[in-house]
Structure 1
């Protein structure tokens, strides 16, 4: 039986960035497949009545300290983005578009965006900055922008988000092994156990 992790993600979550840095390694070690499921975290929050922990000042301060602890444990860079929170609608449409239309470039695409947001701390709310990041990484900004306007791509992202909510997702990162939901990058040990 093939083992699969479905990874429901949105770029705008620093905890999602940390899970993204670890899941490929976990899947390689357990002989499992990683399936990326882009979704719109804002849509999930709206549908479930949830909100970012960063919206509660004390919880937000704790969360970023805790994420730093995990980044050190995982030995990966993490920089608190001074432009947080980021409106990820266009970015997640672009990611969905790359996954649907150019799957061979999908991994490089999300790599450059996660890196720009959570390692370099760049302002991905600014179209000029997004264009610069894409150009630096060998992507054509106008072609990517065209993907974000594609009605089929918009529909796929909307359906991914609705499907996530129907399955019980309320935040990001959310991972499924079979029908079992694991929420949060601090639950990766349970994901590994479920795959083993």
Structure 2
């Protein structure tokens, strides 16, 4: 069996498109011959560093996004629905504290990214399915509890998330995303034969599969395979 291809997934839980990309890549982790590396980063830093503009600042783009997400939620089978005030949730409150918390979870976790995956998913559920806050420490604690983390560990993680160590870790990962050419999330970096190839967005999976020598079986590979 050939060695696994490494795919890095850069994401931020404030981004609904990142949620779609995240779920698809988690589904394909055991379908494709890949080693998936979760890279939680700060979308605000990438937008600023790349000079990109949020869709909320372009009225037509923001209006389109609202309808687009409804279609995508059904297609990808992800319980995604816009919060009551998406502009406030995405751009006024932001995700800095949430992503520092995810970075702290990853810093403490050993033997894989299972806790990072579970906590990230719970945070997406809060903002993009349940219309809840993801900035308050109590909200972060609740998401972590739902992800299965014990209360004592959650308290330690909340404290760690405000440390210089974690702030620098998140800055470093965000800078890595920029160094790869990122201007938004989700961003996948595929390492193949000593080279890396960057793919942006939740609509490039078929092309990515072609480039890494795998097959795209749709957004739910298990169901697609069952029909073959």
TM over 0.5: yes
Aligned to 1:151: 164
Mapped contact 2:7–2:35 kept (Cα < 8 A): yes
CA shift at 1:126, angstroms? 3.5
| Partner residue of 2:206 out of 180, 189, 193 | 189
Map of 1:133-152 to 2, 5 A cutoff? Answer: 133-139=143-149, 140=151, 141-152=154-165
> In structure 2, the residue corresponding to 1:186 is in which secondary structure?
coil
User: TM-score normalized by structure 2?
Assistant: 0.79
CA distance in 2, matches of 1:69, 1:158: 33
Q: What's the RMSD between the two structures over aligned residues?
A: 1.8
CA distance in 1, matches of 2:202, 2:144: 27
Alpha-carbon displacement from aligned partner over 1:12-33 (angstroms, at most 9, x marks no partner): 1010011111111223221211
CA distance in 2, matches of 1:135, 1:28: 26
Map of 1:8-23 to 2, 5 A cutoff? Answer: 8-23=10-25
Mapped contact 1:40–1:92 kept (Cα < 8 A): yes
Aligned to 1:161: 174
User: TM-score normalized by structure 1?
Assistant: 0.91
CA distance in 1, matches of 2:200, 2:146: 33
CA distance in 1, matches of 2:31, 2:180: 27
| Structure number having the greater helix percentage | 1
Mapped contact 2:188–2:200 kept (Cα < 8 A): yes
CA distance in 2, matches of 1:39, 1:173: 10
Alpha-carbon displacement from aligned partner over 1:85-138 (angstroms, at most 9, x marks no partner): 141111111111111112452222222212222222212134433333334444
Alpha-carbon displacement from aligned partner over 1:119-177 (angstroms, at most 9, x marks no partner): 22212134433333334444434222112122222111111111111110110011111
Mapped contact 1:92–1:157 kept (Cα < 8 A): yes
CA distance in 2, matches of 1:64, 1:33: 33
Q: Which has the larger radius of gyration?
A: 2
| Partner residue of 1:70 out of 65, 69, 72 | 72
| Partner residue of 1:109 out of 119, 127, 132 | 119
Corresponding pairs, count: 196
Do the aligned partners of residues 128 and 101 (structure 1) sit closer, same or farther apart at CA in structure 2, a change above 3 Å counting? closer
Higher relative contact order (CA 8 A, sep 6+): 1
Runs of 4+ in 1 over 6 A off after TM superposition: none
CA distance in 2, matches of 1:30, 1:138: 27
Q: Is the deviation greater in 98-107 or in 134-143? A: 134-143
Is the aligned partner of 1:28 residue 2:19?
no
Mapped contact 1:95–1:110 kept (Cα < 8 A): yes
Mapped contact 1:39–1:92 kept (Cα < 8 A): yes
